[in-house]
Amino acid sequence: MSTSSVPDSADLLTTATLASRLKADVLAEALPYIRRFHNKTIVIKYGGNAMTDERLQRSFAHDVVMLKLVGLKPVVVHGGGPQIDAALQRVGKQSTFIQGMRVTDAETVEVVEWVLGGQVQQDIVMMINEAGGKAVGLTGKDGGLIQARKKLMPSKENPGELIDIGYVGEISQVEPAVVKALQDDQFIPVISPIGFGEDGMAYNINADLVAGKMAEVLGAEKLLMMTNIPGVMDKAGNLLTGLSAREIHAMFEDGTISGGMLPKLSSALEAASNGVNSVHIVDGRVEHCLLLEILTDRGVGTMIRAG
């Protein structure tokens, strides 16, 4: 048998040296970003494949704990659309969406509250804790965090008409004291997008909207929204690595942005216009996408600025 393909000790040493140098280069590249973002709040909207793929789940938890350990203040706001769909199917209900928003009757909102505030949230908390962090789950009820009112959707077919889509809410006020207290005590807040009205009823709120508003209220340095696509695409399917407010408005007008991307981009733009330094739509299918986006020169999505 030929041994020509078997590497000798010198080859192995060279490979090990190159790998070590690469790791050193990555660490050196991260240092200025760690220094720049030290003690800054980073809000992360966690959703998409990263919530359902075990490999990506571990990657996400590792990244969040790593950011906390090097001195940043991550806050996680999670979605849970696939999990809600699965739970509704088990009780014989079909999901309906209008302009990217889930129509939510009284029975549906009970399922949503149980899935998001219970099953999904606790899975994320345990995952982060197992990775070495200290996560605490919150809903809008905790400390009066998210106060909500009923959201009425404007009809596209009949301008001027408003559509009642049930117990779907919009944010009337965010009281961030409980989040800040957890951050100051070295915990990682994990927030479910459930608000509560003056009547005590729960309201299902789009997680992108909650993440955007949370970033504004907390004065976050960055807002990162994880998706199942490379980022924002143009009509030809090309990735747009940077977008301004004017460009986003033009894409709304010509229909380039539609469906579930509408609330995501609307929230991103509002956050960027209200003090969040930068908003990133990142590809959650890429392992360690949070570290790549925050601590290296290589982006993995689209950056949005107000200017």
Q: Which pLDDT does position 97 carry in this prediction?
A: 81
**Ranges in the chain, pLDDT < 50:** 1-4, 12, 18
Pick the closest to residue 267 from 189, 191, 206 (CA basis).
206
| 4 domain residue, yes or no | no
pTM: 0.86
| 212 domain residue, yes or no | yes
How many domains does the chain contain in total? 1
Q: Which pLDDT does position 115 carry in this prediction?
A: 92
Q: Which pLDDT does position 227 carry in this prediction?
A: 87
Q: Annotation-wise, does 102 bind a ligand?
A: yes
Q: What is the pLDDT of residues 61-78, one digit of tens each?
A: 999 999 999 999 999 999
Q: Is the dihedral of CA 119, 124, 130, 135 positive or negative?
A: negative
| 300 domain residue, yes or no | yes
| 23 domain residue, yes or no | no
| Domain containing residue 254 | 38-304
Pick the closest to residue 73 from 27, 37, 36, 32 (CA basis).
37
Residue 265: C-alpha distances to residues 58, 140, 233 (Å): 27, 23, 12
Q: Annotation-wise, does 81 bind a ligand?
A: yes
CATH of the domain at 290: 3.40.1160.10
Q: Which pLDDT does position 71 carry in this prediction?
A: 94
Q: Which pLDDT does position 2 carry in this prediction?
A: 45
**257 Cα distance to chain centroid:** 18
Q: Which pLDDT does position 50 carry in this prediction?
A: 81
| 215 domain residue, yes or no | yes
Q: Which amino acid is at 293?
A: E
| 158 domain residue, yes or no | yes
Encoded tokens for 259: 């469906």
Q: Which pLDDT does position 257 carry in this prediction?
A: 78
Q: Annotation-wise, does 204 bind a ligand?
A: yes
| 232 domain residue, yes or no | yes
| 284 domain residue, yes or no | yes
